[in-house]
Structure 1
Amino acid sequence: MSDELSEPMQVELFAASLRATSVDLNAFVEALAAKLSGSLPSQTQVIRHSSLFSREHPVKEIFVALGDYQYRITRERQRPPQTFRAKIVRGIVLKTDLIPMDEWIEELALSLAYEAARSSQTRAALERFLL
């Protein structure tokens, strides 16, 4: 992302990148976990289902802390993913809202663009996110 891109354009790029894989929800959650943990490892936590006899360990939850909010997506087997936004103040969750996935994608994209505008290190990490 170059400096000549406006913030609205950055938001649209992030949102488009997120939506690109959201058609297949299982692939979407797996790709999102890989992109976020690869780009923002200190702000992302990925929890996987584990089974002693299974080779696969699909994503169960993704937590991403950006600014005053934490974005969470959960996936239980045989159920569609659920998306949440939590307001955090001094490390304490004050309020958690279940929000529609489209709204969650938009808000996450907006927060990612804001973080990219604030920090050149975050901007570089998020450039990798778009690859």
Structure 2
Amino acid sequence: MVDDFDLDAAELRAGGADLPRFVEVLAAKLEDTLPQNTVVERRSVRFLSREKQVASIDVTLGDDGFGLRRDGARVVTVRRKVVRGITIRNDELPVADWVTGLGAAIAREAGESSAAHVALSGLLG
């Protein structure tokens, strides 16, 4: 999965990926594989529409938190450092760097947790 995240990050840097689609796919993968660590918020695309899109993704892995928010057409990504439940640092990152950091955190967590290892295997397909 880390390799997949690295490839996705490289695509994002090159501008070859469709960012809104990438966000939707990433949210679905994280919800399926790391449900205890992931919160995805969806909002209606238009007023009274049944069609929804991802508004935000929050992933917490140990002392690291990863947040993605849609702000209109713009996507804002943040990496948080959390100590004893208190956020001590927020760093806004380019999307590609955020994806790379998330992949590394998942791999690190997989080395420490059997549930994360199963999730990592699931994401790799």
State whether TM-score is above 0.5: yes
Alignment of 1:32-111 (within 5 A): 32-50=26-44, 53-77=48-72, 79-111=73-105
Q: Structure 1 residue runs of 4+, over 3 Å off?
A: 18-22
Q: Deviation per CA, 1:93-124, whole angstroms, max 9, x where unpaired?
A: 11211111121111111101101111222111
Please give the alpha-carbon distance, in whole angstroms, between the structure 1 residues aligned to 2:32 and 2:2.
19
Residues 87 and 93, structure 1, Cα contact 8 Å, conserved in 2: yes
Q: Deviation per CA, 1:63-108, whole angstroms, max 9, x where unpaired?
A: 000121100111123x221110011111111121111112111111
Q: What TM-score, normalized by structure 2, do the two folds share?
A: 0.85
Please give the alpha-carbon distance, in whole angstroms, between the structure 1 residues aligned to 2:11 and 2:23.
8
Q: More displaced, 84-93 or 119-128?
A: 119-128
Structure whose residues are more often strand by fraction: 2
Q: CA shift at 1:20, angstroms?
A: 8.2
Identity %: 40
Query: Could you tell me which residue of structure 2 aligns to residue 119 of structure 1?
Result: 113
Please give the alpha-carbon distance, in whole angstroms, between the structure 1 residues aligned to 2:91 and 2:78.
5
Q: What RMSD in Å do the two structures reach over aligned CA positions?
A: 1.9
For structure 1, which runs of at least 5 residues remain unmatched after alignment? Answer: 1-9
Corresponding residue pairs, total: 120
Query: Could you tell me which residue of structure 1 aligns to residue 3 of structure 2?
Result: 12
Q: What TM-score, normalized by structure 1, do the two folds share?
A: 0.82
